[in-house]
Structures are given as structure tokens and as C-alpha cells.
Amino acid sequence: FCWRHQLREFSTRFRVVALDLRGCGASDKPPGRSSYGPETLLEDIRQVVEALGTPGEKGEQQPGGTRWPRGPRASRATFSASVGVPKCILVGHDWGGIFSWEFAATYPDMVEKLVIIAASHRAVMADFAAHHPTQLLRSSYVFLFQLPWLPELLLSLGDFELLRTVLTGRWLGIEAPRRRLTEQELDAYLYGLSQPRGLTPPLHYYRNLFGEGPVRLERPLAPVLLLWGARDAYLDPRLGPYLQRRLAPAARLHVLPGASHWLPEDQPDAVNRLLWDFVGTP
């Protein structure tokens, strides 16, 4: 749902498909924390790229599909294929962006171009937060989410009042007044989370952040576009340039003035222009 502005825009040139990440929205919700580990989620993306990509002949580019795994935040990919290998232009926001960094490095032959919107790499975030206490404060909710059952209780109190504040609050939510969510749009976001067991799978993403060994810091080989909001309440504005230096020195970095964390919703026209410029103006 949060990619609706981009779905309309890019369907004029690409076949576009939006999918919920496992455990979110309409996707299956397998039980157990182990079902939501990073390696499992990366494999989900690989299988979708493989299933929707259209193998082509050498030197030929054929249209395929687009994968936008979704929620807690979203990830998107537009597929083309050449030399028999399914390829995609992969676009990820927040959790989708976290997985997109690692997917592009793990499966370089499957990613033609990479767009990261307001999302860090797991290895870089730990190092950055250790040297920037402001980021540690912005990420403090992550430590609360490590607890069992209590985060689910707090987030659901008062008809999900806390989540409503996250999406619509003046500091945490969308900055652009004309883009603030209507009541119907807010209900669309909260519908999946309000279903039985709807909150637990997304929270397992956070609970699995610290459960594995050290995360490998590998640079993606594909060209990278990095988009950041200057007024992101959750990610320090300095993190964007830091990611560029560590992971993609040749990346195009755009920090959008006055923009919140929710860039696809907050400034869809600016995001669309930058995406067209990166993938090729129609």
C-alpha cells in the first residue's frame, strides 16, 4: 500500500508487483521467531526474483515483473533479464532496504540497479550508532522490541494509538501537510497489524537482529541510488553519507529537504523523479 504512488507511476513502463514480506499484511505468518531470520527473508526475495524474472538471450532485455515485499516497511524490485539470469532493479525502504543491501551483495547477478530509501546496512548501523549517540537514541525502540509480549501489548493499546502516532505524529509521521494520511489510509495500514497475531511477526524482525553472528560488510556491485529524508525521526541524517562512504562510494546520494522517514508517502513526486532519472526517463 505504501508504494501506491510508485505503482501507478512505473506501471507505464514496467510490470509492477507489490508483495508483503512474510508475516506482514496478507502474507503467510508461520509461527516461531526462527521463521523471520534475515537469511530466510533473503531467500524469499531470491525465490521471487527467480520466479518473476524472464530469462532472455544475450544482449536482450525483456520485461519481467516487479517485487515490492512489504511491511513493516517495503521493498520493491522491477525485473528484466539477460543472458538467461533473472535480474531486477531492486528498491527497498526501511526493512526492505536492509534486506536489499544484503541481497544485492549476495546475489550480484540478480540485481541490475539498487535503490535504498532510508535504510541502513546491519553491519554499518552498529558501528555508526556506537560513535553517534543521537542514533542510539533514535533506535532505542529496537531494545524495547526485544522483550516478549510486552511490545505487542503496548502497540495495541487504545486501538493502536501508538502506531497511529508513529504514522501521523508531527515529529514521527509524514512531514508534508498535503500528504498526511487520511483516516481511510491509516486504517489500511493498521488493518493487517490488527488481525490475530498481526503484530508478532513484524516484531520478530527486530528480535532477530542480534541473534546471529557478525554480519558481513560487502559492497553491492550494482549502481546504487541512496535517498534520505533530512527530517527522518529514526535515522540520523549523517548516516546516509556514512553508508555511501562505506558501501557505495560511487552511489548517487540525495537528501530531500523537509522529508520524513516515509519518503515514498511523504514526497512521492520527488522520489518518482529521482527514480526515473536513475532507471531511465520514459
Separation in Å, CA 100 to CA 3, 57, 104, 137 = 16, 26, 6, 25
DSSP classification of residue 262: -
Please identify which of the residues 44, 94, 232, 236 carries the catalytic annotation: 94
Nine-digit cell string for 131: 560513535
d(CA 92, CA 72): 12
Please identify which of the residues 107, 205, 261, 266 carries the catalytic annotation: 261
Judge contact between 256 and 179, C-beta under 8 A.
no
For the question of residue 206 being annotated catalytic, the response is yes
Please list the residues that pair with 253 across neighbouring strands.
Answer: 226
Please identify which of the residues 206, 232, 234, 254 carries the catalytic annotation: 206
Task: Give CA angle at 277 (180, 250), nearest 5°.
Answer: 105
d(CA 76, CA 135): 26
Contacts of 14-17 with C-beta under 8 Å, sequence gap 24+, read 14/63, 14/66, 14/78, 15/63, 15/64, 15/65, 15/66, 15/78, 15/79, 16/65, 16/66, 16/68, 16/76, 16/78, 17/52, 17/65, 17/66, 17/67, 17/68
For the question of residue 94 being annotated catalytic, the response is yes
Residues annotated as part of the active site: 94, 206, 261
